[in-house]
């Protein structure tokens, strides 16, 4: 059974790859997911079974995304079948000549027909499918998933559809590592011991994290990325034999291969927060601080959400690293102190990115487990919001009776937009003082000009961690809740 931990799977692949590689027709195919294994099994059966075995399907439709090996599979089956002295015919189904060839082959029961692709024009597609469906021998049709519901398919013919490789993380890892290995082979197809050892020194955890980012239509770039990593491995094996491959170098190679924003201008410093509401609250703090302290907390600093609405959150961090080319000392990820935030922080540190988790000791809720950005808003302020919105309730309310006495309100996700609008109209800098400190601390990390001196920052932090303020830490629970 394959481990569910991608980094452990990557570690296994780097040391022993044979279990993740299947050879068909002299071509190697990489993957281990159940659906990919089932597909290869069907392809192998059509390439090797005798036509007289009635238990096996005589035809099948196979739907594969572009650049996922559709043509390679079709040609591999053709080569494998011919090596076993079977009568096999391979056709490019997108050209008109195929329709005539299929018509001539319809009465022949002792052949294997492989059709790679179908015409875009509806009339031509209908003719090709009718002639494919009328074949007496065994046949496989390969097409892209857009034709999965095509009206002219024979309902009695089995259909297989391979999901996008972004949904098959083990297969994507295997494909990348397999491509790296291909580019390290010599003319005889052998990987030297020196280079085989160099492969095992790739940082498996970073490799798994970076590979998890969706490629979408850029899947065609994955072999190019594999070649570049192989070239870097080859050079490093000569210059620094026996040394681990640096995680930062691997990250840069992925950035080059995955980047969507190459050449775009960007600010010098960016702080990435989990979502829109986090971004808006920090911008409000900056606005209030600027009005009272005559300074701009966003000068030289851009506060950016990881995504908008449901598209945000810690699941986007690795994608942001790659697509936005974030760099240590230029970008900072400010994450909630909860399980997703801590897990994402670990991944980001592996990629040598700067991360700052919200400090529970500086939160108004004084929670010793999880804190979000709303935990840094004074409890009396949150209570005023709920008093003015009696139809709303927090997701959770937790009261801590032992010192330091405190109370935590977990704001329901559906209420965050309303809370932000209410804060913009009603909150004071005093209500948001703890977040004011957080923003000043971020500016200090980037060595940006701050509104508070370093010595004042130290005293400020000590006070926030040790003080006890009834309004800030307990608030005034709305009477209508009881």
> According to DSSP H, which parts of 60-187 are helical?
70-83, 97-105, 122-133, 169-183
Within 8 A by CB and 6+ apart from 21, the residues are 28, 29, 30, 174, 178
Looking at the domain assignment, is residue 336 inside a domain? yes
Same domain, 222 and 152: no
Do 245 and 284 belong together in one domain? no
Rounded to the nearest 5°, which phi and psi values hold at 120?
-75, -35
Which residues, in sequence order, are bridge partners of residue 141?
61, 115
Q: What's the confidence (pLDDT) of residue 262?
A: 38
- In terms of domains, do 312 and 333 share one? yes
**297 and 333 together in one domain:** yes
Structural domain contains residue 25: no
Looking at the structure, do residues 209 and 273 belong to the same domain, yes or no? no
The 8 Å CB, 24+ separation contacts for 196-202 are 197/237, 197/242, 198/233, 198/234, 198/236, 198/237, 198/245, 199/14, 199/233, 200/14, 200/15, 201/243, 201/244, 201/245, 202/14, 202/229, 202/233, 202/245, 202/250
Last residue of a domain, one of 166, 184, 215: 166
Q: What is the dihedral of CA 148, 150, 154, 156, to 10 degrees?
A: 40
Q: Does one domain contain both 158 and 173?
A: no
Residue 287's Cα: distance from chain center in Å?
Answer: 34
* Same domain for 438 and 293: yes
10 belongs to a structural domain:
no
The answer to whether the CB of 36 falls within 8 A of the CB of 44 is no
The last residue of a domain, from among 226, 258, 290? 258
Does 12 reside within a domain? no
Nearest to 462 by CA among 361, 334, 337: 361
Q: Are 64 and 70 in contact (CB under 8 A)?
A: yes
Expressed in percent and rounded to 5, the helix, strand and coil fractions of the chain are 50, 15, 35
Confidence (pLDDT) at 56: 58
445 in a structural domain: yes
Report pLDDT for 264: 43
Would you say 44 and 62 are in contact if contact means Cβ atoms under 8 Å apart?
A: no
- Per-residue pLDDT at 3: 55
How far is it, in rounded angstroms, from Cα 208 to Cα 360?
30
Q: Which domain holds residue 82?
A: 34-166
302 beta partners: 270
Instruction: Let me know if residue 80 belongs to a domain.
Output: yes
The helix/strand/coil state of 164 is coil
Closest residue by Cα to residue 112 from 25, 36, 29: 25
How many domains, the chain? 3
Distance between CA atoms of residues 311 and 323, nearest Å: 15
Q: Which two tokens stand for residue 279?
A: 């971004």
Looking at residue 263, its pLDDT comes to: 40
Is residue 28 in a domain?
A: no
Q: Which of 237, 258, 279 is the last residue of a domain?
A: 258
What integer pLDDT is reported at residue 49 of this predicted model? Answer: 66
pLDDT at 364: 94
Q: Are residues 152 and 208 in the same domain?
A: no
Same domain for 231 and 286 = no
231 and 173 within one domain: yes
Kindly state the DSSP code that residue 399 receives in the 8-state scheme: E
Does residue 249 sit in the same domain as residue 275?
Answer: no
Residue 195 resides in a domain: yes
Q: Is the domain of 194 the same as that of 46? A: no
pTM above 0.75, yes or no: no
DSSP H helix total and E strand total for the chain: 18, 13
Among candidates 396, 391, 419, which has minimal Cα distance to 480? 391
- One digit per residue, the tens of pLDDT, for the chain of length 482 reads 455 788 999 999 999 999 999 999 999 999 999 999 999 999 999 998 654 454 556 899 999 999 999 999 999 999 999 999 999 999 999 887 788 899 999 999 889 999 999 998 899 999 999 999 999 999 999 999 999 999 999 999 999 999 999 999 999 999 999 999 999 999 899 999 999 999 999 999 999 999 988 888 888 889 989 999 999 999 888 888 899 999 988 988 888 777 644 344 445 799 999 999 999 999 999 999 988 887 788 888 999 999 877 777 888 899 898 888 888 889 999 999 999 999 999 999 988 899 999 999 999 999 888 999 999 999 999 999 999 999 999 999 999 888 888 899 999 999 999 999 999 999 999 999 999 999 999 999 988 877 888 888 999 999 999 998 999 999 988 776 66
Q: Which two tokens stand for residue 191?
A: 């990987």
């Amino acid at each position: 059974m394959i481990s569910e931990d991608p980094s452990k799977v990557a570690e296994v692949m780097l040391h022993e790859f044979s279990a993740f590689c299947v050879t068909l027709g002299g071509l190697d195919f990489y993957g281990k997911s159940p659906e990919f294994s089932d597909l290869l099994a069907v392809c192998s059966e059509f390439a090797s079974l005798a036509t007289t075995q009635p238990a096996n399907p005589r035809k099948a439709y196979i739907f594969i995304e572009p650049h996922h090996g559709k043509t390679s599979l079709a040609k591999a089956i053709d080569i494998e079948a011919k090596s076993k002295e079977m009568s096999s015919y391979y056709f490019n189904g997108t050209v008109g000549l195929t329709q005539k060839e299929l018509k001539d082959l319809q009465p022949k029961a002792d052949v294997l027909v492989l059709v790679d692709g179908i015409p875009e024009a509806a009339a031509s597609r209908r003719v090709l499918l009718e002639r494919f469906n009328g074949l007496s021998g065994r046949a496989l049709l390969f097409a892209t998933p857009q034709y999965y519901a095509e009206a002219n398919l024979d309902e009695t013919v089995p259909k297989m559809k391979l999901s996008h490789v972004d949904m098959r993380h083990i297969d994507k890892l295997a494909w990348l590592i397999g491509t790296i290995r291909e580019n390290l082979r010599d003319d005889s197809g052998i990987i030297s011991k020196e280079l085989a050892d160099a492969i095992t020194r790739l940082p498996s955890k970073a490799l798994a994290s970076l590979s998890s980012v969706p490629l979408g239509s850029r899947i065609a770039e994955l072999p190019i990325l594999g070649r570049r990593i192989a070239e870097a491995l080859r050079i490093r094996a000569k210059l620094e034999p026996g040394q681990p491959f640096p995680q930062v170098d691997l990250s840069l190679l992925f950035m080059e291969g995955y980047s969507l924003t190459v050449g775009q201008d960007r600010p010098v410093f960016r702080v990435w927060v989990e979502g829109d509401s986090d971004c808006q609250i920090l911008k409000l703090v900056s606005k209030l601080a600027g009005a009272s302290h005559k300074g701009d907390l966003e000068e030289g600093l851009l506060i950016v959400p990881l995504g908008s609405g449901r598209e945000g959150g810690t699941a986007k961090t690795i994608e942001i690293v790659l697509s936005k080319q974030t760099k240590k000392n230029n970008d900072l990820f400010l994450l909630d102190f909860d399980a997703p935030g801590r897990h994402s922080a670990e991944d980001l540190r592996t990629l040598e990115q700067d991360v700052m988790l919200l400090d529970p000791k500086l939160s108004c809720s004084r929670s010793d487990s999880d804190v979000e950005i709303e935990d840094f808003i004074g409890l009396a302020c949150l209570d005023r919001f709920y008093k003015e919105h009696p139809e709303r309730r927090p997701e959770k309310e937790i009261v801590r009776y032992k010192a330091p006495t405190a109370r935590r309100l977990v704001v329901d996700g559906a209420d965050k937009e309303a809370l932000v609008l209410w804060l913009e109209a009603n909150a004071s800098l005093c209500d948001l003082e703890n977040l004011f400190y957080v923003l000043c601390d971020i500016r200090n990390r980037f060595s940006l000009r701050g509104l508070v001196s370093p010595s004042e920052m130290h005293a400020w932090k000590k006070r926030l961690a040790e003080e006890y303020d009834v309004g800030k830490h307990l608030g005034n629970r709305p009477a209508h809740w009881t």
